[in-house]
Amino acid sequence: MPSSILREVGHLLDAALIREKATRLSCPSCGSGHVAQVLGDNGGISYVCTACGHSWS
C-alpha cells in the first residue's frame, strides 16, 4: 500500500481513538470505564460502575 494511504489511514484511526476517549464515561469514585447507564427511580438516567458499585446521576 502506498505510504500516503497508510498515513491517511493512520490519521483517521488516531482521530477515532481521540473521539472515543473523549466520550467515554468513567466512574468518579474509582476511575473505571466500566459504567452502565440505568433508568433511575424517578424515570431519569443514572449510572452505575460495574467495577466498584458506585452509582450517580
- 8-18: pLDDT as tens digits: 767 666 665 55
The label of the residue with cell 474509582 reads: 30
CA contacts within 13 A on the Cβ side of 40? 9
Per-residue pLDDT tens digits for 6-55? 677 676 666 655 554 555 789 999 999 999 999 877 889 999 999 999 99
Joined grid coordinates for residue 37: 447507564
Domain ranges across the chain: 3-56
What is the chain's Cα-based Rg?
17
